[in-house]
Chains A and B, each alone.
Chain A
């Protein structure tokens, strides 16, 4: 990509340098007088160092700078979940994440789920088998969100519908109610919800 620079500078862990001498190289480090900084992201296993405008959201970096258009822009305000990706393995709304703040992070998008081969991820397979979409616009977000939700349940994260007496620190079993609640951050304007729940249930079983 045109805006990539592969200079190996990950910069971010250091505080803004005090005023005084700065080399051109350091120009792209996080700095309070600069409005752009170098940020290194590992996206689907591949490192990218980019100089990003601080205003740039991760979603726009993925779609416009890296050509990864799987994550979708629905609302751009954290309300629809279409932009869901995994950040260091956890699902987040990429429209509300500033790229500059993610220096050194690992990002997985729907494009990265299938791995190197042609084999689809079991969740992708289940969405196809269950016909769990109509227009497909929400689907990449639904799949990334479901993947994050499965990991959260396995790590013992409860949800709003988990019986409070369920022992803490142990995996939470997922039934249809749990899946519905855990995926409530992903809206589907086509109303494919029943099939989406079935697809996720297939993978849980």
Chain B
């Protein structure tokens, strides 16, 4: 590992200023992804700006009924928070389906959103990877890609985004709040991560030096029935092969709200807009759910070895939709 400088920021302004003042700087959250990648030689920061102790460590209800989660809140605390468990169960479930108890105690909200792909070529500096080294090629496209994308991939990159939390945030219509040299702004969680296109080196819409300050969970989805389901190679402590977060409101047997996002299928949480549109105003039946999900997944373009993801994603999505609908009906 390359030697690096270290500074612990005491305020948001101090953090962004320290970042701007030091070429090659990286923010440090819980370190569970960054330190790992530094050990692998994938990340080689000149300076770490520690943002893990910033006063962004609270979960608070805002006057309009939304809930603001500070970027330094740890994944375990967020999953256990009564406001989250009671109003946004899909978020709590997604967090608890990710990583391990030890990792969730360290991992932060900001760091979770910005964790990098688990593509093995990305993590191995001796292999070609356009995301790590633009122009070097993509080892996975014709190599080992069982875990890779079936939707929205490009010639340049077929990686998936590994976060469970981000999938729930996308389905819940959360927003990501950012602060940078140009001031504060916010981006919908569903549009925060990018598709790879020609620039797989850019995972998200974040600008260089911008800090994630918080995530806002909207009042509109508070208290709606929601759930997260994750399919993986073993029952615990494994990344998703396919996952789905669903937020559903049914009234008089008719779908009044549907927020559906898939995980592990694409370079970003995949908000299933086509399926949502097909469902809105229609009957909340298993047959309607299956038709809508199939419509969405018709766009899938599996690689040589990951075609299994399409029926897997279909089945878990239809199952979660059906369960939420029947729970809402009783």
Contact = CB atoms under 8 A, between A and B. Distances in A.
A76 interface: yes
B273 interface: no
A100 B6 contact: yes
**Residue among B36, B48, B105, B227 with the most chain A CB within 10 A?**
B105
B7 A145 contact: no
Interface stretch (A91-99, A131-139, A195-203): A91-99
Nearest to B74: A90
A32 B21 CA distance: 10
Contact of A101 (B6, B79, B86, B92): B6
A125 interface: no
Given A37-B6, A93-B106, A155-B80, A98 B100 contact: no
Contact of B7 (A16, A57, A157, A186): A16
A97 B48 CA distance: 13
A142 B177 CA distance: 38
A152 B97 contact: no
B31 A158 contact: no
Nearest to B7: A16
A183 B38 CA distance: 27
A15 B48 contact: no
Interface stretch (B8-16, B203-211, B260-268): B8-16
B292 interface: no
B106 A181 contact: no
A98 B28 contact: yes
B50 interface: yes
Interface of A: 12-13, 15-16, 30-35, 37, 53-55, 57, 76-78, 81, 84, 87, 90-93, 96-98, 100-101, 103, 145, 148-149, 152, 155-160, 162, 164, 168-169, 180-186
16 contacts: A12-B8, A15-B18, A33-B5, A35-B3, A78-B32, A84-B102, A91-B102, A96-B30, A96-B32, A96-B103, A98-B48, A148-B105, A149-B101, A159-B96, A164-B92, A182-B101
